[in-house]
Structure 1
Amino acid sequence: MRGKLGAVVIGLGVFGACVLATGSASSHGYISQPPSRQALCADGTVDDCGDIQYEPQSVEGPKGFPAAGPPDGAICSGGNSRFAQLDDPRGGQWPAAQLTGGQAYDFSWTFTARHATTDFEFFITNDSYDPSRPLTRAELQPQPFLTVPYGGRPPSSDTVTQQGTIPTGLTGRHLILAVWNIADTGNAFYACSDVQF
């Protein structure tokens, strides 16, 4: 009896390890520059963040944005109710990185685990954006201003920098939505960074 019980425990342990080593559990990351909302929560710049302060890398939701993906009002959390604090506009008072239209900019990702990647996409809000309300698709420009294709490869290191050009013609507060599209699952990782022009 004791031998059978031991075999069951070992079998369950192996099964659990296999589950954790596949799919979404093996892939996590977030934007660290410009600081994303989850990065600001994790480093203590912003408080009252709930679980996201411990798991900035875990904002995972359905891929296919903007046609699919998380619903309007829950885009910054990836549609994950555990991280709903990321969708709270905080009265438009999230700390914002200073940007200038037309400037070259290095976007940095931090990964706690790397995964096969389709691409990285960066969207920015349009002139209808209201920083005091949760983000909707209608407030984003319809096409990403930067797409970095990866062809199914994983990121090469735990931090990756991707250079792009900040769009011109924007003033005031805006928001950049970064989407990391995973190649071999149905999910993507989402990160919102507040910016000021």
Structure 2
Amino acid sequence: MSSPLRAPARTRTPGRKGLALAASAGLALPLMISSPALSHGYTTSPPSRSSLCATGQVQNCGPIQWEPQSVEGPKGFPQAGPADGRICAAGDSRWAPLDDPRGGQWPATRMNGGQAFTFTWRLTAVHATTSFRYFVTRNGWDPSAPLTRAALDPQPFLTRNYGGQRPPSTVSHPATLPAKQGRHLILAVWDIADTPNAFYSCADVDFG
């Protein structure tokens, strides 16, 4: 005896709501992938601590060795911004090895006080810019201690204003170096115009 015929299974058609959700999900993924990268950058001349970690000249740096351009924190320095002792890492605990003075033994770039020097940034993503500013430590500061505001001269020795313009991917700022002697630290701050953040770059130098 033959089996009774069965009606074919009905295929469920998604309703309007389901189609709308699927469409929005499909659009969300490309939008997420194609969103522009945030601005990033670090000093290469003199080489910043993050640059030295990225090139392997300094070891045991943690994840900053893969992201030397990501030292980003609140802007408004020195009135606001990262807390004292956390300035070189921009207040980000992921980059804490940059705040470690290592007993004052970070490799230092040789400079001559009072002479010409060109500061250089490498920007992996550009952004509308307010300014680049450069601070240097006071005479008599302690290179074996984490950087604080009190350790810096209160005013930047070099400021380059951009008025919201976007800089090129390689930025050069010729300057006359401050009249210093011995080991110092230069803090470069890249202030972003259209976000609440800035990028912080610490470089160890020796004025001889």
Give your verdict on TM over 0.5. Answer: yes
| Correspondence for 2:107 | 95
| Correspondence for 1:162 | 173
> Partner of 1:9: helix, strand, or coil?
helix
| Correspondence for 2:117 | 105
Which of 164, 168, 174 is the matching residue for 1:152?
Answer: 164
Q: TM-score, normalised by structure 2?
A: 0.87
Mapped partners of 2:101, 2:25: distance in 1 = 46
| Correspondence for 1:31 | 43
**Cα displacement (A) at 1:65:** 0.5
**Cα displacement (A) at 1:10:** 1.9
**Cα displacement (A) at 1:9:** 3.0
| Correspondence for 1:12 | 28
| Correspondence for 1:119 | 131
**Cα displacement (A) at 1:128:** 3.4
Mapped partners of 2:79, 2:140: distance in 1 = 19
- Deviations 1:116-157, CA, capped at 9 Å, x for gaps: 0000000000023111110000000000000000010011x2
The question of 1:193 aligning with 2:203 is answered: yes
**Cα displacement (A) at 1:15:** 4.7
Which of 54, 58, 80 is the matching residue for 2:70?
Answer: 58
- Deviations 1:76-133, CA, capped at 9 Å, x for gaps: 0000100000000011110000011101100000010000000000000002311111
Mapped partners of 2:152, 2:200: distance in 1 = 14
The question of 1:140 aligning with 2:156 is answered: no
User: Which 5+ residue runs of structure 1 have no aligned equivalent?
Assistant: none
User: Which 5+ residue runs of structure 2 have no aligned equivalent?
Assistant: 1-13
Choose between structure 1 and 2: higher helix proportion: 1
Larger radius of gyration: 2
Which has the larger displacement, 8-17 or 157-166? 8-17
Number of residue equivalences = 191
